[in-house]
Structure formats: C-alpha cells, structure tokens
Structure 1
Amino acid sequence: MTKAIKLLTALPRPQRERLMALAREVSFPEDARIFEAGDRADRFWVIRSGAVSLTQRVTSLQRVTVASLGAGDLLGWSWLFPPYEWDFGAEAFSPVRAYEFDAASVLALCEEDPRLGIVLVRSVAEILAHRLETTRGRLMEHYALHGRGSL
C-alpha cells in the first residue's frame, strides 16, 4: 500500500504559500458534526490536530465510520466536483483544529494560477486514490475474516 499523501506538503512552496494565504483557523469540539452527506460542499479543511471520522448513513439511526483522518489530512473533496454535495458525513472524534478553505476562493486562485490548480487537483486525486485503495483493502479483509463471499 502506498503512503498517504498530505495536501500541504505535496504542494510546492510557492503554491502552498498562495493557498495558505486563504486559510482560516477553525476548531471543532469532540462529537461535533462537521458536515452531512448531501449538504452543499463549499469548503474543505486540512486537519492540524485531532481526529475526524468520515461516516456513511446506513439507516436513519445508524452511521458507519468509513475512514478516520488525522493531522495533515485533507477533509473534504466534494467541493471540486459537481454536484458539489458531500458524499459522506464528518464528525470530530476528538477536539479538532484545522485550516479551513473557502472553495470559491480556492477555485478563483486556481484560475489565476493554473500551476497551483493542476498541482492541487493532482494532489487531491492522489489522496482519493490512496483512500480508495485503503478502503478496498479493508473491505477485502472484512470479507475474508467474516466469510461473506467474494468481491
């Protein structure tokens, strides 16, 4: 399995500095819902400290954690793709500090600086590919352990 990509360290210094000029420091208390699946995705975060659980609603009363994110991880990618709605929900598993980025401002910056735009999109794509690979591995382990058939 490949090593997880951290968005801010993946960007070259000039592009990282331009992006960070748009950052706003935020915090979430433990158990805070950060966003819900289906809501409008108009921002994203880079986690500075703490842990966030990505969740999928299974029933009206039950959510399942599909991934856990920590320091340096990107939280939110749905702001990049139509229909600009969250695919999952997110909840602070512990107190969280993060950099928050307004999607419209970042997209405007990417139009102004195409190098930043391509590096940012490639970095997000690598992050998504890694998460997909990790999720696939977890599913295969789950099915192997629980004998629920083959994928």
Structure 2
Amino acid sequence: MYQLTPRLQFIHDHLISGEPVWDFCCDHGIVGLSAYKSGKFPEIYFVDQVSSIMEKLSRRFAEKFLRVEQNTQVQFLTLPGEEVKDVLKGTVVIAGVGGIAIHKIVKNLHEQGLLKATRLILGPQRDEQKLEEMLCQMLDSDYKICNVDYRIEERGRTRKLLIFNKK
C-alpha cells in the first residue's frame, strides 16, 4: 500500500472536507488516493503531464482503491497543469515540483479565470521564497496567504508549505 509522509499527512489534514480535491503533479497520487479513501470529498482530480505515470496510477486506482458504493467522482487528466481547462474549486494541491513550475501553473490558471479554489496548498521543492513573493503579489486581490510558517522535516530536509485561502 502506501504511507503518508509527515508532509503529505499535513497536506491531507488541510484539505477542505466536502469540497473537490485537485492533486497536481500527482506522481504516485498519494494525496488524491488518501482523499478518496477517506470518503470526505465529492470529487478527486489527478493531474500530471506524464502519460506513463497517469496510466499506472489509473490502473492502480481501479485495482486497489475503486469502491462501487462510494459516490466520489474521480478523473485522471494527462496534461501539463497549466493546460487544465476546468474551473478549479475546493482545494488545489501542487507539491513535489519546483517553485517556478508551480508559479507557471497557478499564473496560467489565474489569468484564464479558472482558479476559483477555496484553498491552495503549495509544496515547492525549491525557490520557496521567490514563489511566495510572486504569488502574494499576483493573487493579492483574491487570496490571502496564511501567515503561519509551515515547515515539515522530511528525509533530512526541511520542506516549506504555502497555504493560500480565498478571501
């Protein structure tokens, strides 16, 4: 199976129950899978541009996680995050990629008017400070960053998480 690392557990604990979850750059899909398993979210979207990752994740989901009795809708989107054409509501999670990649995704979705999420949880692997500065300026009219400095120790490294809530 899988086990949530402290960082992924923190992310899971900050998803908004009863709202959709968007797991961008999902790789193994652990955040989305844990959200699905909990049964607390009406929709789960997995987004990654690597088709082999998405095929494997989709197969794994169908074999080990899909429950007929659960009403959660699940979608697997194989495309770059910045090319999503749906309106994003609920919680958007983008973690495990660089700050510049996260900025590109958020910027494009914001400029297209698709970013309507209640909460953004961002976990850059690098360029945390630069990402925070760029997003605070860009999202200022729509989102407020939580002023708490979320830092999680994981695998001998301190990882920063940024959380933005819709105003």
Q: Same fold (TM over 0.5)?
A: no
Normalized against structure 2, the TM-score is what? 0.25
Higher relative contact order (CA 8 A, sep 6+): 1
The structure having more radius of gyration, on CA atoms, is 1
